[in-house]
Structure 1
Amino acid sequence: MGGSNSRRVRRQGPVTLRDKQIPATTTDQRLLDRRGPSDWVHTDPWRVMRIQAEFVEGFGFLSELGKAVSVFGSARTKPGTPEYQKAQDIASGLVKAGYAVITGGGPGIMEAANRGAFESNGTSVGLGIELPLESGLNEYVNMGIEFRYFFVRKTVFMKYSQAFVVLPGGYGTMDELFEALTLVATGKITRFPIVLVGSEYWSGLLDWLKTTMLAEGKIGHDELALLHQADDPDEVVSIIREAHKGLSFA
């Protein structure tokens, strides 16, 4: 089909929409927006069923995954850059250490990590999300599922990950980082390692956590210690392996 590469595509769960069939808003946006016609009130119970179905599909899909590490980072990172290569190398090292690799399934750091896992003959998982400017999972995902709702997707990330690797990124990456930190710090999930990759990128945030948040008693030293730092891919894998010594993931 001529010119197919320029067509707009939207995935909504199992549904594919193109061109004029793509709605102006996303499923999450319509759920959270209180404005508009009152008939939304009468359809909310049906949304609950759809949300339940997403949880069931996600849990069933990954129930036999085994030990896995989630890799977070910017969708805007370009192939061929040092950060892209580092994410690829980290994922390759994780596969060789016996882990599956989970990402958001999109471009940038996500693609790099999926690529590293895929090219090392490992399990490369993509948990996609319906977004206005993204379409489908990257080509290096060999186990993929796409969600309508962010909160369902985030729950699946947290449930099936035994460690979190966070490369430079934007709002989405920060959201995932602090979600993991909060759940580990409050004991909602098992105390698994969280590794920040890129000391220069993360130095400002870590300084603020120490000099402001810790200094004012908003967090404790043990909570700050939940964060590990590494620049070398082998060191990232080593931190995770060391933290998992003696633990069972059966």
Structure 2
Amino acid sequence: MRGPIQLRGELKRGTGTTDAHLLDRRGPTDWVHTDPWRVLRIQSEFVEGFGALAEVPRAVAVFGSARTPADSPEYQAAQAIGAALTRAGFAVITGGGPGIMEAANRGACEEDGLSIGLGIELPFEQSLNEWVDLGINFRYFFARKTMFVKYSQAFICLPGGFGTLDELFEALTLVQTRKITRFPIVLFGSRYWAGLVDWLRDSLLGSGKIAAGDLELLHVSDSVDEVVDIVLRAAESAAADAVGTEDQW
């Protein structure tokens, strides 16, 4: 036996004991790059994330392109959304990077709200923006995604690229399949998202790949006030319908 693993025949030859391997400093160090070791790293990311975010007040995740310049209308809209969410009593969670993420964090920070950034290790340099009050850097996308879903009461997607689309469809899938409690998913910027919405309606719904009610999971808006109103109404509805404890979910 090697812990919970049973080895027989040739498989057990030369394996030794777990204690012996732990205490022996000789031998190769490539074990730190093996999948079992990665499991511990993954576990640590969940532990750190849950620990840091456990007492965060109700929050809304804002997504959008890291390439959005600070003088663009989209940056200004994200900043206004971050500020408006703060005034409505929500913390703001972003990916912690530049562009739209920075703008939303900045709007929350300038209104003295809680500004959260969940960063990700990338092959190109990207650090948390200066407007993040509480920041966590992740190695693994799936651990980071779990934090977004678990600690957000709504997703707001401004114009963005693959990363924004990834978060958008992840949320849509989880809500559609009832893996998570239904919460609003808002597309801000009707002109930008029009082609996607048309494709969902004409191609997916038109060919029976989704149900008519699935399109109702999405809200499209060009108004900051309307976005906040959608989030507030959903939060009030969720509070009225809430039953049981998290252990029962």
TM-score (normalizing by structure 2): 0.82
* Offset, 1:93: 0.4
Alpha-carbon contact 1:106-1:134 (below 8 Å) kept: no
1:219 to 190, 210, 213: 210
Letter in 1 for 2:147: V
2:65 counterpart residue number: 74
* Offset, 1:42: 7.2
1:232 counterpart residue number: 223
* Offset, 1:133: 2.0
Alpha-carbon contact 1:94-1:237 (below 8 Å) kept: yes
2:128 counterpart residue number: 137
2:176 to 185, 190, 195: 185
Letter in 2 for 1:104: G
The 1-side partners of 2:182 and 2:191 are apart by: 26
Residues 229 and 45 of structure 1: is their aligned pair in 2 closer, same or farther, counting only changes over 3 Å?
A: same
Q: Which has the higher contact order (CA 8 A, sep 6+)?
A: 1
The share of aligned pairs that are identical, in percent, is 67
Runs of 4+ aligned residues of structure 1 deviating over 4 Å after TM superposition are 39-42
SS in structure 2 at match of 1:165: strand
Compare CA radii of gyration and give the structure with the larger one.
Answer: 2
Alignment of 1:88-127 (within 5 A): 88-127=79-118
* Offset, 1:73: 0.3
Residues 214 and 41 of structure 1: is their aligned pair in 2 closer, same or farther, counting only changes over 3 Å?
A: farther
SS in structure 1 at match of 2:219: strand
Residues 55 and 199 of structure 1: is their aligned pair in 2 closer, same or farther, counting only changes over 3 Å?
A: same
* Offset, 1:66: 1.7
The 2-side partners of 1:241 and 1:43 are apart by: 46
Q: How many residues align?
A: 212
- Select between 141-150 and 128-137 the one with higher mean Cα deviation: 128-137
The 1-side partners of 2:56 and 2:191 are apart by: 34
Unaligned 5+ segments in structure 2 are 1-29
1:243 counterpart residue number: 234
The 2-side partners of 1:133 and 1:125 are apart by: 22
1:175 to 161, 166, 169: 166
* Offset, 1:135: 2.6
TM-score (normalizing by structure 1): 0.82
Alpha-carbon contact 1:126-1:143 (below 8 Å) kept: yes
1:54 to 25, 28, 45: 45
